[in-house]
């Protein structure tokens, strides 16, 4: 089907900056953008949708999350990190069944779709369930089965997690016309042996798959690693070969200047997760230094247990203001950079060259923000209104590969009421 | 009329903590709460509204804003502070007519009502217009005509601003059954002479009115004041008598420990404005130190030109996570404290003893948050979902003095479409 989005203001990306086509036309042929301009296309389209008063932009890419954790939303707020994780989150996680994970993950898909996210990068248990639900939802995702190993004698190629990882790759990589990609993952330096990291990195590179890690999230992680290996976590992962292929690292709050230079040299994408880093007391990553030095930085929410939502609109808003305040510099991390993090750089992290921007020939991953709302009037600067004034609920349409997943509050691919019912039931069962 | 809100979860405040009455009943007689409990009241009510699945809480109090500035939303984002203020904001402000101010202010009322704010404290030009619009809207506001004077020879009692201030007080204080209160205000230390501050403080105290100031917003303000007077701005205002009555001070980013002790001794309420302080690069106020030391802290958005919205739900979320991150302490500024800032302490700042909490005998200033949404499920901890997961758009009812101002997207006291149309027209006229 050919569909024309007519009359909206369209955020296009050229020469590292976003600009706005006022009252433009965006044509879609099947899953691909085939027209973009301020004049009406000559071709005819099967369907014309009026987008007057709406801002069209690329679907947001959530660069780091744990979708299965949404059933734990709000658990243990305000607790010290160790009590939160060891006494509160882990005991509940131990009770999660595959069915719970499926429900939590579907709940996450609802929330992400309603807030304008079209693609995400996940790290959690039972990614096979996630893959099935993502396919049904119409979203895109890079999935993995994260490696963990505390036993130096455990043989990588025969351990359960590696077998699951390889099976996941074989079954799902490239599925649903490429909407599903499978990457490899190491949970973190402090939860994995050298042998395991080396093996996972090799297997990822053999397949041209990405490598997803947690890196330098807390001061303790950074310090303990230096004490243990005489290397920072970034140096340690690099030595293990984890950065030889496409690699992306979540958090990066405690990187040294040398770490940043290393990540730049190895073209590792940093995933900034400002809400989670604040809420858990981890700190504030020095993103302006990273972008000034030319690192690629994407944006992620982390899981709903430490955020406590998967709201990329809010994450952009926070990223846009946080660094200005912490640096005492209102010019820090300008708006173009923030939107790039949530779109262009997210697509790069996922190894997807066919999305991340609105342009002819790219996949039609498009969201519409309703600008006809009191908190978005007047619209002196659409980018400023989007990043500093908008809410996720201003997203009124979410489209991936040309398919509308959400429109004006209705989910077109997922059963909202069934999922919310199951989520409440599951939480009651888990927490009493 | 007697109206019963039935089936909602009700946040009540007892012993400095909030707790939740599950599936409760909240009865309202005219403008006052006359019943609160988990059992149905014996009395009959004229109207029963089903609030199942909703969280009821006190209307939010925006402790510091400049409502007339909303027409400037998004102007000069990412600019250095001086360029933003002197080259961008001031020239446009100079062109604002009274009509523009009325429109910008009505736009602000729409936004505040839709995001659950029932009362606000304003500081801007033409407060008479604001008063009229606030009365019509059904909201509550503490208004002022801020004093500024750069001429040491200007006589306070004959200057235009003082005359306007006194006239405003005489005309509006206590109007609309107390919904309008008039306080006095000094814009800031660096924009006012000693003589003027002394006179305004005396006039305020004669009338038992409050005193609203900007205090220690930037490092430069703090440093310049010390160089000029050998006193910090807080010490200087205290010496001028500005803290002899009810007083409240916005920002307070750069207070010293001595300043904090002084404000505590003088019972000055601090208004924390985290979004504005971040966006303008001012810094992060040490709110955990203030609350630990027993200061009263309220919460405010500042104006929409430096935020860029008047969204108290977002402001609470930011306050709840920012200090944890900056202090590297996930226990900093716990949730009860944050909600208290936006309700109880806001009412205290405004000198209103009849609101700020849901309790029998208090005014029915109530908002309802729809918890039946993907990003608010499951509801393990209602306070956590409210502060860390909710958006302003989850507010589905806003009531002040028992009158419903907003319900499910509809404004019952204001003409949304007319105001949005006028706001766009005015912005076009002002900015070309």
* Residue B278: closest C-alpha in chain A: A325
Mutate to test the interface with A, among B330, B340, B385 (most CBs of A within 10 A): B330
CA dihedral B1, B7, B11, B13 (to 10 degrees): 60
At B284-336, the pLDDT tens digits run: 999 999 999 999 999 999 999 999 999 999 999 999 999 999 999 999 999 99
Residue from B62, B324, B378 whose CB has the most chain A CBs within 10 Å, to mutate: B378
pLDDT reading at B80 higher than 90: no
Biggest CA–CA distance in chain A, Å, is 67
Q: How far apart are CA A235 and CA A263, in angstroms?
A: 9
Strand duo A247-251 + B269-272: pairing: unpaired
For B60-349, CATH number?
A: 3.20.20.140
Does residue B205 surpass a pLDDT of 90?
Answer: yes
**ipTM, 2 dp:** 0.97
**Cβ neighbours around A85 below 10 Å, total:** 16
- The pair of structure tokens assigned to B21 is 């009455």
B375 and A322 within 8 Å at the Cβ level: the answer is no
User: Are the beta carbons of A391 and B389 separated by less than 8 Å?
Assistant: no
Predicted pLDDT of residue B125:
84
What is residue A148's three-state secondary structure?
A: coil
What is the per-residue pLDDT for B128?
A: 85
Confidence of residue B112 (pLDDT cuts 50, 70, 90): very high
Q: Find residue A212's DSSP bridge partners.
A: A185, A248
Place of tokens 């846009």: A320
Cα B209 → chain centroid: 17
| B391/A392 Cβ within 8 A | yes
Q: In what order do the strands lie in the sheet with B140-143?
A: B60-65, B117-122, B140-143, B180-182
Query: Which residue does chain A place closest to B79, by CA atoms?
Result: A331
Q: How high is the pLDDT of residue B159?
A: 92
Chain centroid, CA A209 distance in Å: 17
Mean pLDDT of B136-146: 97
Task: List strands edge to edge, sheet with A297-299.
Answer: A184-186, A211-215, A247-251, A269-272, A297-299
Q: Check: CB of residue A400 under 8 Å from CB of residue A138.
A: yes
- Each domain of chain A, given as residue ranges in start order, spans 2-59+363-411, 60-349
Closest Cα of chain A to B407: distance in Å? 15
How much is the pLDDT for B127?
A: 84
Task: Based on DSSP, count helices (H) and strands (E) in chain A, helices before strands.
Answer: 16, 18
Distance, in Å, from the CA atom of B155 to the CA atom of B153, rounded to the nearest integer, reads: 6
**Residue B416 phi, psi (nearest 5):** -55, -50
pTM of the shown model: 0.98
- B280, B327, B423 member nearest A378 (Cβ): B423
For A311, which DSSP code? -
pLDDT confidence of B165, banded at 50, 70, 90? very high
Give yes or no for a contact between A347 and A119, defined as CB atoms under 8 angstroms apart: yes
Q: What is the pLDDT of residue B431?
A: 87
Pull the structure tokens for residue B270: 């601090």
pLDDT computed for residue A127 by the predictor: 84
Main-chain phi, psi angles of A411, to 5 degrees: -95, 125
Q: Looking at the domain covering B2-59+363-411, what would its CATH class be? A: mainly beta
What confidence score (pLDDT) does residue B363 get?
98
pLDDT per residue, tens digit, chain A (432 aa), is 999 999 999 999 998 899 999 999 999 999 999 999 999 999 999 999 999 999 999 999 999 999 999 999 999 999 988 898 889 999 999 999 999 999 999 999 999 999 999 999 999 988 888 899 999 999 999 999 999 999 999 999 999 999 999 999 999 999 999 999 999 999 999 999 999 999 999 999 999 999 999 999 999 999 999 999 999 999 999 999 999 999 999 999 999 999 999 999 999 999 999 999 999 999 999 999 999 999 999 999 999 999 999 999 999 999 999 999 999 999 999 999 999 999 999 999 999 999 999 999 999 999 999 999 999 999 999 999 999 999 999 999 999 999 999 999 999 999 999 999 999 999 999 987
Nearest CA to A422 out of A61, A140, A176, A133 is that of A133
Point out which residues pair with B367 in neighbouring strands: B57, B398
Q: Choose among B281, B378, B392: nearest Cβ to A71.
A: B378
pLDDT value at position B260? 98
pLDDT digits (tens, 9 = 90+) for B379-419: 999 999 999 999 999 999 999 999 999 999 999 999 999 99
pLDDT recorded at residue A359: 98
Could you identify the residue written with the tokens 């390889």? A166
Please, are residues B85 and B109 in contact by the beta-carbon 8 Å criterion?
Answer: no
The answer to whether residue B345 scores a pLDDT higher than 80 is yes
Among residues A318, A334, A308, A317, which one has the least CA distance to residue A284?
Answer: A318
- Using alpha carbons, select from A335, A301, A325, A305 the residue that is nearest to residue A315: A301
With contact defined as beta carbons under 8 Å apart, do A302 and A315 qualify?
A: no
The DSSP string of A226-271 is HHHHSS-HHHHHHHTTTTSSSEEEEE--S--HHHHHHHHHTTPEEE
In angstroms, the first-to-last Cα distance of chain B is 49
Nearest neighbour of A378 by CB, restricted to B277, B372, B424: B424
- Taking residues B339-365, report their average pLDDT: 98
What are the backbone dihedrals phi and psi of residue B40, each rounded to the nearest 5 degrees, phi first? Answer: -65, 140
pLDDT at residue B81 is higher than 90? no
SS3 per residue for chain B: CEEEEEEEEEEEEECCEEEEEEEEEEEEECCEEEEEECCCCCCCCCEEEECCCEEEEECEEEEEECHHHHHHCCCCCCCCHHHHHHHHHHHHHHHCCHHHHHHHHHHHHHHHHHCCEEEEEECCCCHHHHHHHHHHHCCEEEECCCECCCCCCCCHHHCHHHHHHHHHHHHHCCCCCCCEEECEEECCHHHCCHHHHHHHHHHHHHHCCCEEEEECCCHHHHHHHHHHHCCCHHHHHHHCCCCCCCEEEEECCCCCHHHHHHHHHCCCEEEECHHHHHHCCCCCCCHHHHHHCCCCEEECCCCHHHCCCCCHHHHHHHHHHHHHHHHCCCCCCCHHHHHHHHCHHHHHHCCCCCCCCCCCCCECCEEEEECCCHHHCCCCCHHHHHHHHCCHHHEEEEEECCEEEEECCEECCCCHHHHHHHHHHHHHHHHC
Tell me the C-alpha distance between B203 and A97, whole Å: 68
- Closest CA of chain A from B281, distance in Å: 4
Q: Do B282 and A325 touch (CB under 8 A)?
A: yes
Q: How far is CA A43 from CA A8, A50, A156, A175, B97, in A?
A: 19, 17, 56, 32, 48
Q: For an interface test with A, which of B52, B55, B78 has the most A Cβ atoms less than 10 Å from its Cβ?
A: B78
> A73–B282: do the CB atoms touch at under 8 Å?
no
Provide the residue count of chain A: 432
Give per-residue pLDDT as tens, A24-83: 999 999 999 999 999 999 999 999 999 999 999 999 999 999 999 999 999 999 998 889
What is the predicted pLDDT for the residue at A65? 98
């Amino acid at each position: 089907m050919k569909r024309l989005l007519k009359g909206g203001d369209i955020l296009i990306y050229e020469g590292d900056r976003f600009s706005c086509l006022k009252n433009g036309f965006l044509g879609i042929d099947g899953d691909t953008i085939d027209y973009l301009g301020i004049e009406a296309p000559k071709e005819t389209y099967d369907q014309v949708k009026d987008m007057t008063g709406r801002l069209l932009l690329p679907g947001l890419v959530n660069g780091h999350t744990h979708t299965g954790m949404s059933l734990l939303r709000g658990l243990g707020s305000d607790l010290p990190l160790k009590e939160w994780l060891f006494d509160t989150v882990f005991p509940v996680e131990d009770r999660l069944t595959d069915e719970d994970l499926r429900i939590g993950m579907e709940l996450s898909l609802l929330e992400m779709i309603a807030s304008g996210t079209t693609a995400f990068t996940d790290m959690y248990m039972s990614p096979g369930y996630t893959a099935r639900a993502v396919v049904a939802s119409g979203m895109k995702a890079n999935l993995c089965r994260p490696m963990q190993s505390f036993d130096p004698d455990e043989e990588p190629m025969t351990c359960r997690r590696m077998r699951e990882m390889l099976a996941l790759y074989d079954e799902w990589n490239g599925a649903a016309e490429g909407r599903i990609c499978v990457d490899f993952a190491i949970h973190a330096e402090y939860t994995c042996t050298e042998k395991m990291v080396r093996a996972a990195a090799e297997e990822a590179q053999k397949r041209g798959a990405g490598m997803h890690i947690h890196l330098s999230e807390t001061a303790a992680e950074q310090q303990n690693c230096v004490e243990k290996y005489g290397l920072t976590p970034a140096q340690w992962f690099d030595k293990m070969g984890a950065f030889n292929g496409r690699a992306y690292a979540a958090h990066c709050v405690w990187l040294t200047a040398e770490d940043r230079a290393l990540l730049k040299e190895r073209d590792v994408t940093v995933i900034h997760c400002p809400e989670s880093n604040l809420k858990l007391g981890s700190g504030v990553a020095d993103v302006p230094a990273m972008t000034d030095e030319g690192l690629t930085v994407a944006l992620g929410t982390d899981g709903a247990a430490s955020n406590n939502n998967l709201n990329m609109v809010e994450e952009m808003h926070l990223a846009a203001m946080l660094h200005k305040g912490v640096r005492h510099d209102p010019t820090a991390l300008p708006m173009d950079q923030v939107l790039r993090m949530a779109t262009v750089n997210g697509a790069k992290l996922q190894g997807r060259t066919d999305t991340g921007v609105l342009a002819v020939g790219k996949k039609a991953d498009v969201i519409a923000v309703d600008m006809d709302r009191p908190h978005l009037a007047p619209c002196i600067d659409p980018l400023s209104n989007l990043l500093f004034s908008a809410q996720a609920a201003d997203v009124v349409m979410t489209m991936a590969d040309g398919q509308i997943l959400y429109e004006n509050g209705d989910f077109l691919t997922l059963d909202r009421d069934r999922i919310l019912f199951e989520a409440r039931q599951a939480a009651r069962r888990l927490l009493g």
